[in-house]
Amino acid sequence: MSETFDVVVIGSGPGGYYAAIRCAQKGVTAAIIEKAEIGGTCLNRGCIPSKALLASAEVLLKAKNAAALGVDIAGVSPNWLKMQQRKEAIVGGFRKGLAGLLQANKVKVFAGNAVVTSPKTVFVEPGKDELHATKGIIIATGSVPVEIPAFPFDGHSIISSTEALSLPAIPASMVIVGGGIIGCELACVYAAVGAKVTVVEALERIINTEDKWVSQLLERELKKLGIGILTSQKVTSVDVAGGMAKVVLQSGQHIESEKVLVCVGRRAACDKQTIDKLGLNMNGASIKVNDRMQTGVAGVYAIGDAVGTTYLAHGAFAEAEVAAENITGGSAKIADYSLIPRAVYTFPEIASVGKTEERCAKEGIEVIVGRGFFKANGRSVAHNETTGEIRVIRDKASGKILGVTMVGAGVTELIASARLLIGSAEKFHDVSFPHPTVSEVLKEAWEDAFGMSIHQPPR
């Protein structure tokens, strides 16, 4: 069967469904081709299921530490089956809701593998539907976990984050190869439910994309959860022949573990046939695009993990907005990627936006750093969540705010507000923060960046 649409989107993850719906809102006809589940990796194998498990783990830890707040709770233990059932119910509910949302916006969904034969034509296998795109195609095919050739995934002993989200039982022990965002988040889940977790990171620190103080603070807190952390260490081999995995490090150290979770990043996923047929310009596995999300082929756009920029769902949202605007005749450019907030849902959370202190130093920018502390915040103390701080980075020359970095409970909910500070030299006098709230820590750091903190001694 042959059908014609204005826009055909390949992939229904955050970038894909956002782009399709936005195109439909602009009055054009849109179709989505999805080879797996509606919602892509984020909804089914990433953001949502991981946060569901993290939420359960957080409640478990709070219950175990409730005595500090004068509440005695006996017999606290994880019910892994119910945690998994809850996670699946959440994912299933959102998947159903997204399917309804696409239908309500008159976006037609085709199930199958997309085979692009020209900038205006896509076949859907195995049904062989032929879709014609009068305005163009948006490629939003997402990413897959990076595999280490020396010890590839076997789905049982050596697993990716996909399997780690749905293990049938809590393993007694787990070695996590990679101390990035995914590795550290899953370390928190499994340590909370009782597994002996060891994180092995090849670089000198975990979460190396943020400032050193962030990594050091998080490492300290993860160790309090019983998580072992080995940095500047590489895994050279994994032997699973004897049932237990025997992990060998470059230093010669051996670790036995029931599971080995490999979290060394993700890589863009794009069908080779599509790349070859269209003659797409590539940057490794990622599709090259300009700041309008255009590929080198007229009428073909690419967004999200397929272009390897942020590997963030909200990064894909931003790129989808630009692609949808341009493919429907508008003129939009992607914003500064540093202004897309970064969030890590560990215990404690990490959130940042704009430039880091280390990036400013590399660029030769002299800065003033304001600091606010959760241990001095009334609401944080009341909730026994006093770990961490907020730093506001101000350009000494211009007075403008360049970046904000936060570590603490719930900071991922504050970072969007902090984004509004970036580029501003406005002081805080006319902005009222309700008391007592955790948000006051941001005000303290903001004040301190201007040398006007009320609740901190002069420096």
pLDDT tens-digit profile of 391-445? 999 999 999 999 999 999 999 999 999 999 999 998 777 788 899 999 999 999 9
Mean pLDDT of 216-228: 98
Task: Using pLDDT thresholds of 50, 70 and 90, give the confidence band for residue 34.
Answer: very high
Interior/surface letters 244-262, b for 16+ CB within 10 angstroms, e for the rest: ebbbbbeeeeebebbbbbb
340 in Cβ contact with 315 (< 8 Å): yes
Predicted confidence at residue 126, as pLDDT, reads 86
- Which pairing describes strands 266-268 and 143-145: parallel, antiparallel, or unpaired? antiparallel
To 10 degrees, what angle do helices 47-64 and 80-104 make?
140
Mean pLDDT of 172-201: 98
Predicted confidence at residue 455, as pLDDT, reads 84
Q: Which tokens go with 416? A: 């969007």
Mean pLDDT of 35-42: 96
Above 80 in pLDDT, residue 128? no
Predicted confidence at residue 185, as pLDDT, reads 98
Sign of the torsion formed by the C-alpha atoms of 329, 330, 331 and 334: negative
Percentage with pLDDT > 90 across the chain: 93
Residue among 254, 383, 429, 435 flagged as catalytic: 435
Question: Strand 158-159's sheet: what is its strand order?
Answer: 158-159, 259-262, 173-177, 196-200, 228-230
Predicted confidence at residue 427, as pLDDT, reads 79
Predicted confidence at residue 428, as pLDDT, reads 75
d(CA 11, CA 287): 15
User: How many residues are there in the chain?
Assistant: 459
Tens of pLDDT, residue by residue over 138-180, are: 999 999 999 999 999 999 999 999 999 999 999 999 999 999 9
Above 90 in pLDDT, residue 459? no
Domains and CATH numbers, the chain: 2-145+267-337 (3.50.50.60), 158-264 (3.50.50.60), 348-449 (3.30.390.30)
Task: Using pLDDT thresholds of 50, 70 and 90, give the confidence band for residue 91.
Answer: very high
315 in Cβ contact with 293 (< 8 Å): no
Is 429 considered catalytic here? Answer: no
Beta bridge partner(s), residue 389: 373, 407
Predicted confidence at residue 285, as pLDDT, reads 96
To 10 degrees, what angle do helices 47-64 and 181-192 make?
40
Task: Using pLDDT thresholds of 50, 70 and 90, give the confidence band for residue 123.
Answer: very high
* Per-chain mean pLDDT for the chain: 96
Mean pLDDT of 366-386: 97
Above 90 in pLDDT, residue 275? yes
Task: Using pLDDT thresholds of 50, 70 and 90, give the confidence band for residue 453.
Answer: confident
Predicted confidence at residue 454, as pLDDT, reads 84
Q: Which tokens go with 298? A: 């007229």
pTM above 0.85, yes or no: yes
Task: Using pLDDT thresholds of 50, 70 and 90, give the confidence band for residue 188.
Answer: very high
Mean pLDDT of 367-389: 97
